[in-house]
A and B are shown apart, each in its own frame.
Chain A
Amino acid sequence: MCGTSDGDPDLDTGIVTGTTGAGTGTSVGIGTGSGSGTGEESVDDAERAQFSALLEDSAEDLYEHAPCGYLSTLLDGQIAKVNATLLAWLGYTRAQLVGRRRFADLLTVGGKLYHETHFAPLLAMQGRLSGIALELKCADGSRLPVLVTSVVKTGTDGEPLLIRTTVFDARDRRAYEKELLRARKQAEQAGEDAEQARAEAETAHQGVEAERARLQRVVSILQKSLLPPELPRMPGLDAAAYYHPASVDVIGGDFYDLFPLDKGRWGFFLGDVCGKGPEAAAVTSLIRYTLRAAFLVDSDPVHTLATLNAALHERFTGSDPRYCTAIAGTLTPGGEAGAVTVGLAGGGHPPALLLRADGTADFLPTPGGMLLGVLADPQLTSATTLLRPGDTMLLYTDGLTEARTRSGPRYSEEDLHAFVADLAPAGAQTTVDAVQRLLGGFGEGLDDDTALLALGVPAARTAAANPGAAR
């Protein structure tokens, strides 16, 4: 530990008692000639003694015991003079420094480098330098943080003669500055940490986005695999379909299909599995192939739905029951005047809508049909109708009739009936296009998947129109 000013009584007791006053013998009488009366003489004497003590604080004593260190060096740094204060701080004797050491010798190695590269050049160029923070090495090896100010003393001709340096004890000050620097570095580090965290979050976000895009591709591909890639061309019949997924992230549970049977007949179905996601998709896949196979064995729609019910009931009883609603049917062309016979069975599904060539529209009820997969032997209902040229039948899932309208209430079967009544007469594609626009109008209100399948007999003179309409 460097010598402290606390240990030097001269520094602590200040100038009033800091000097013996002896030996100068030249006290100046402050207050003499003031014409003070004899009655106040004793007071004057006391004051006089005090002022004398002040003034007898000699320049030499002031230099030696100033509250700062003094150092004079030759231009090459050789120490020529040093005061007692600095010697006390450093723990050296005068003889150890004067004529033997350079100022730079008192510095730490880093301080020496700084001295040579900054301090000395600046001092040479400017003639003075102030407030430089350095560390002095004390005799006992400890270090004293100081603030140094140096001035080059020049002769009358301007030639530099020597360097005068004052040294201030900067322990407290440097501790404070170090604290500031530490706080600053901490703040910078915090800033860097925040930036890094932000970058990591960004990377993570990009990863999530990429994963989401990948998932969406998978969902899209899987969804397509559950629907026919395109509808078959049917002589004398038109078909159109549309599938609206409620989300690009979650695979939906609606399904439909249209496929040839024997003797020019066609089979079709449309339905809705309860639930969404991969589990529902697995069920949808099962339903689709079960129905396709059932139609090949027995084309009676009631029988096909009964087969499906049995398959679902067997497969999904227990802890993970799966149900669906469906409508299935056959188209048998060759009727009178181009009419096509429609045989239909329903299991808990909203009724088909018929858009007639005369501009009217009606439900084709399949009342009482029950959810498929719940009961071992459900009640299934059937219906039959004729599609004449210009007639179209529309099948849909409840995503449409349960969509939330922009004005608030849910869209209903009655609303849909009114909508298609306005539309009729209309071909299959026209009908699907119109309902698709209607769906688009719901915006975010359309919160469930929706499937549409329209089957129609073209009006007489355009019987060959619109083959192979896309879904």
Chain B
Amino acid sequence: MDAVGRNNVTVTGRRDGPVVMLAHGFGCDQNMWRLVLPALAERFRVVLFDYVGSGRSDPSAWDGERYSSLEGYAGDVLDICDELDLTDVVFVGHSVSAMVGVLAAGRQPERFAKLVMVAPSPRYVDDPATGYTGGFTADDIDELLESLESNYLGWSAAMAPVIMANPERPELGQELTNSFCATDPAMAAVFAHTTFLSDSRADLGSVSVPTLVLECAQDVIAPREVGAYVHAVIPGSRLVTLDATGHCPQLSAPEATAREIVAFAGSPR
């Protein structure tokens, strides 16, 4: 299997540096990290990738059943680690990818040194039975799927392969409304379901590597209560609240985000 090609893997930064793996969440692709990448690349060997079904991953590798569970996405991470023979990885996962990192580290702990969870949430839907507040109802998630559906007229199935096959000719990408994060709507819908209907709370307790939880001060998707929950459940984790608005601090507050990641990843274990 060619995970590097399948997942559009990019390896950049210091060749001899510690490995930092950046994993995007639902909605975009590895482009999400572009504003923090320069700062990280100075010190680390940075591995970026797109999950199958996102960005410029190989659409033929799509498997609706595999990617209907977060384990499938964790499989992508482990396949890449295996193929590049990565060890002592500092895994930085944004949003749902933070939980993917927890699953991957649970399956092959020997490959991972540390975990950075950026705006994580182990469950987005409220769970009144346990008094857990995720911030959303199942109806809200349906509404998101509707929004996705309303906007896939801007996505061109015909153009995606053209862009993928011609990375050296970015002007072809201009044909698309959005040259980043172009995702097949059917695959995006599966990822949305998997993301927003998942419940990974039970996995948090098993995290055994040093963990940094990075949350935003104002985040509708992962509110402060959720950040506090994650921090409380993962033994020995560190919680940092960034003075940032929205769910993507790597875009809205890139300097602070990069600073925290560098400090945590670069510190001795």
Q: Which residues of A contact B (CB under 8 A)?
A: 75-77, 102, 104, 108-114, 116-118, 120-122, 124-126, 129-134, 174, 177, 181
B-side contacts of A174, CB under 8 Å = 150
Task: Decide: A120 near B246, CB < 8 A? Known: A111-B143, A129-B178, A133-B150.
Answer: yes
Judge whether B42 is part of the interface by a CB distance below 8 angstroms.
no
Cross-chain contact A76 with B144 (CB below 8 angstroms): no
Cross-chain contact A109 with B248 (CB below 8 angstroms): no
Choice from A75, A117, A181 contacting B27 with Cβ under 8 Å: A117
A445 to B206, CA, bound (A): 80
Judge whether B32 is part of the interface by a CB distance below 8 angstroms.
yes
Cross-chain contact B181 with A133 (CB below 8 angstroms): no
Q: How far is the CB of B184 from chain A (nearest CB, A)?
A: 14
Task: Decide: A126 near B179, CB < 8 A? Known: A104-B220, A114-B148, A132-B151.
Answer: yes
Cross-chain contact A130 with B27 (CB below 8 angstroms): no
Q: Can you list 17 A-B pairs, Cβ within 8 angstroms, ordered by A?
A: A76-B245, A110-B141, A110-B145, A113-B140, A114-B147, A116-B27, A117-B28, A117-B95, A117-B221, A117-B247, A118-B28, A120-B252, A122-B181, A125-B31, A125-B32, A125-B180, A133-B153
Q: How far is the CB of B219 from chain A (nearest CB, A)?
A: 8
A-side contacts of B248, CB under 8 Å = 116, 120-121, 124
Judge whether B136 is part of the interface by a CB distance below 8 angstroms.
yes
Q: Mark B146-165, 1 if CB is under 8 A from A, else 0.
A: 11111101100000000000
Q: Which 8 A-B pairs have the closest CB atoms?
A: A110-B143, A117-B27, A76-B245, A114-B147, A109-B140, A124-B251, A113-B144, A133-B150
Task: Decide: A75 near B252, CB < 8 A? Known: A113-B140, A113-B147, A116-B246.
Answer: yes
Task: Decide: A122 near B180, CB < 8 A? Known: A109-B136, A114-B151, A132-B151.
Answer: yes
Choice from A102, A118, A129, A181 contacting B149 with Cβ under 8 Å: A181
Judge whether B142 is part of the interface by a CB distance below 8 angstroms.
yes
Judge whether B25 is part of the interface by a CB distance below 8 angstroms.
yes
Choice from A117, A131, A134 contacting B154 with Cβ under 8 Å: A131
A77 to B154, CA, bound (A): 24
Judge whether B201 is part of the interface by a CB distance below 8 angstroms.
no
A145 to B34, CA, bound (A): 33
A-side contacts of B146, CB under 8 Å = 110
Judge whether B218 is part of the interface by a CB distance below 8 angstroms.
yes
A-side contacts of B28, CB under 8 Å = 117-118, 121-122
A99 to B146, CA, bound (A): 30
Judge whether B177 is part of the interface by a CB distance below 8 angstroms.
yes
B-side contacts of A181, CB under 8 Å = 149-150
A-side contacts of B95, CB under 8 Å = 117
Choice from A102, A109, A118, A177 contacting B181 with Cβ under 8 Å: A118
A-side contacts of B218, CB under 8 Å = 76
Cross-chain contact B220 with A120 (CB below 8 angstroms): no
Choice from B149, B177, B178, B247 contacting A116 with Cβ under 8 Å: B247
Choice from B32, B35, B148, B180 contacting A126 with Cβ under 8 Å: B180
Residues 226-269 (chain B) with a chain A CB within 8 angstroms: 245-248, 251-252
A464 to B174, CA, bound (A): 96
Choice from B137, B220, B245 contacting A112 with Cβ under 8 Å: B220
Cross-chain contact B144 with A120 (CB below 8 angstroms): no
A-side contacts of B34, CB under 8 Å = 125
B-side contacts of A112, CB under 8 Å = 220
Q: How far is the CB of A147 from chain B (nearest CB, A)?
A: 10
Cross-chain contact B144 with A110 (CB below 8 angstroms): yes
A104 to B248, CA, bound (A): 14
A419 to B13, CA, bound (A): 96
Judge whether B26 is part of the interface by a CB distance below 8 angstroms.
yes
A-side contacts of B181, CB under 8 Å = 118, 121-122
Cross-chain contact B251 with A125 (CB below 8 angstroms): yes
